[in-house]
Amino acid sequence: MVMSHRLVATLLRGPAFAALAAVLAASASSTAFAEGGKLYPQTKLRLTVVQWMPTRGEYQQWPALGGEYVVSAAGTVMLPVLGAVPVGDLDSQSLATDIANRLQEKIGLVTRPETTVEVVQYPPIYVVGDVAKPGEYAYRTDLTVLQALALGGGELRDADATRSQQEIRLVGELRSLDDGILRSMSRIARLEAEMAGAGKIEFPPVPAGNANSRLATEIFEQEKIIFSARRNALDRQEKSLSELRDLLTAEIKVLEQKIEATEEGIRTTEQELSGVKVLVDKGIAVVSRRTDLERVLAGYRSDRLDHMTAVMRARQGMTETTRNLEGLADQHQTEVAAELQREQANLDEARLKKEISQKLLMETLSSAPAAAGDAKTLTYTITRQEAGRPKQFEAEEDTPLLPGDVVKAAFVRDAGAAPDAAAAAASPKATQ
């Protein structure tokens, strides 16, 4: 359709240009997805409907019809106003044209609205059989059987390789558990020594020539360092509190001496003040002398109150220090007991894990190995829905997939393999 220069200029302005750009982008997107061809059931579509409004000079979207829809199992799309629209063998462009024609006919429009259909998501594919991670995977265009196998983690590994990996893992777990048990036992020995107030740690014996003997020596030395450091820290705390208590005791003695000296000054000043008052009353001494003595007496009494307050504070500090000093040992015992309880629980858990790992390792070692020379080939089959019914056929690694396909990988014994040897390998006697 040929547009006038005025119409083109109008389209390039403001919201009209934005709406047109959205239509063109959606059209380009639907064209890209349309390369997949047929729209299969469970395909998620995004519908966009716009119409040119000559009175406004812009494209206007129809939000009531636009949105995301899913193709039903019956091959239809349920749309507002139109109801069930059959998809059939249409691609996204053909479906968009069909919807536009139906809207024009249904509503009675003069011109057909611009409609685009974009594929948002294809139905998934399913990978099953002898693969590492069977399951559901997202489909993309040009996906092949080999790529689907890669999505499923590749082919299932041989039993011997799996068994060998499990043995290595179990052996590593047992070694790690042995080291953890040794560390827990050493830590428990150190905590028990702290609880008892012992001067040294009685570590558990380690058999001579054991692979853990060197590790045990290192762990024992580390625990000795921790034991010595914690004991020294406790001694320092006790010494610090004891020195603080002694200092407060000495401070109280000094303050009591000051109080005695202040009281002596108060008594002396009071006696002198009594004599001066008599002389002042007789007119022999001046009044200023009495005033000075009264001022001195008030200063003595104020100092006595300050000293008594300081004594009370010092006694309060000494009481708190004594309480902290007496509770220091109890607090340390409580912390050590709680830590000992947690470590004992960790030791019991590690021993239980070790027992389970040992049983698993014994079962793995006693299981029957796979038969030697048993050559296998990985084959593929695809199950695809056609005309509402599943159809199965053989496939190769480069076979392209369609949405909804089920890919099954299976190992098949080569024709040259000896059936008698395979049967013997699978028999209980051979397993033993």
User: How far apart are alpha carbons 261 and 267 in whole angstroms?
Assistant: 10
Q: Which of 101-110, 153-162, 404-413 has the lowest mean pLDDT?
A: 153-162
Going along 289-402, which residue ranges are E strands?
376-386, 389-395
In a domain, 9, yes or no: no
In a domain, 419, yes or no: no
**Are 195 and 338 in a shared domain?**
yes
In a domain, 224, yes or no: yes
Q: Which of 11-25, 161-175, 212-226 has the lowest mean pLDDT?
A: 11-25
In this prediction, residue 328 carries a pLDDT of 87
CATH code at 391? Answer: 3.10.560.10
In a domain, 238, yes or no: yes
Pairing type for strands 406-413 and 376-386 reads: antiparallel
> Of 121, 143, 170, which one is at a domain's C-terminal end?
121
**Are 144 and 234 in a shared domain?**
no
**Are 49 and 193 in a shared domain?**
no
Q: Which residue has the higher pLDDT, 257 or 107?
A: 257
Contacts of 28 (CB under 8 A, 6+ apart): none
In a domain, 199, yes or no: yes
Provide the pLDDT confidence category of residue 217 given band limits of 50, 70 and 90: confident
Kindly state the tokens that stand for 348.
Answer: 């019991």
Strand partners, 406: 126, 383
Provide the pLDDT confidence category of residue 390 given band limits of 50, 70 and 90: confident
- The residue among 13, 97, 11 whose CA lies nearest residue 52 is 11
* Position 129 pLDDT exceeds 80: yes
* Position 117 pLDDT exceeds 60: yes
**Are 327 and 390 in a shared domain?**
no
Q: What is the Rg, in whole angstroms, of the alpha carbon atoms belonging to the chain? A: 47
* Position 13 pLDDT exceeds 70: no
In a domain, 267, yes or no: yes
In this prediction, residue 61 carries a pLDDT of 84
CATH code at 59? Answer: 3.30.1950.10
Residue-number span of the structural domain to which 395 is assigned: 126-156+375-412
Q: How many domains does the chain have?
A: 3
- The residue among 92, 97, 53 whose CA lies nearest residue 69 is 92
The answer to whether the CB of 252 falls within 8 A of the CB of 315 is yes
**Are 193 and 293 in a shared domain?**
yes
**Three-class DSSP category at 193:** helix
Number of CB atoms found within 10 A of residue 295's CB: 10
Tens of pLDDT, residue by residue over 338-388, are 999 999 999 999 999 999 988 888 887 776 454 444 567 889 999 988 877
In this prediction, residue 208 carries a pLDDT of 55
pTM over 0.85: no
Provide the pLDDT confidence category of residue 211 given band limits of 50, 70 and 90: low
- The residue among 246, 231, 249 whose CA lies nearest residue 329 is 231
Tens of pLDDT, residue by residue over 143-156, are 999 999 899 888 87
> Of 367, 395, 425, which one is at a domain's C-terminal end?
367
**Are 218 and 135 in a shared domain?**
no
**Are 112 and 204 in a shared domain?**
no
**What per-residue string of b and e applies to 177-196 under the rule 16 or more CB within 10 Å gives b?**
bbebbbbbbbbbbbbebbee
**Are 282 and 339 in a shared domain?**
yes
* Position 275 pLDDT exceeds 90: no
Distances (CA, A) of 413 to 379, 410, 420: 10, 10, 13
* Position 417 pLDDT exceeds 70: no
The answer to whether the CB of 116 falls within 8 A of the CB of 30 is yes
3-state secondary structure 194-206: HHHCCCCCCCCCC
**Are 232 and 96 in a shared domain?**
no
In a domain, 425, yes or no: no
CATH code at 303? Answer: 1.10.287
The answer to whether the CB of 397 falls within 8 A of the CB of 148 is no
The answer to whether the CB of 216 falls within 8 A of the CB of 206 is yes
**Are 141 and 74 in a shared domain?**
no
In a domain, 8, yes or no: no
**Are 52 and 151 in a shared domain?**
no
In this prediction, residue 156 carries a pLDDT of 75
The answer to whether the CB of 40 falls within 8 A of the CB of 104 is no
**Are 209 and 354 in a shared domain?**
yes
User: How far apart are alpha carbons 270 and 276 in whole angstroms?
Assistant: 10
User: How far apart are alpha carbons 178 and 21 in whole angstroms?
Assistant: 69
The answer to whether the CB of 407 falls within 8 A of the CB of 128 is yes
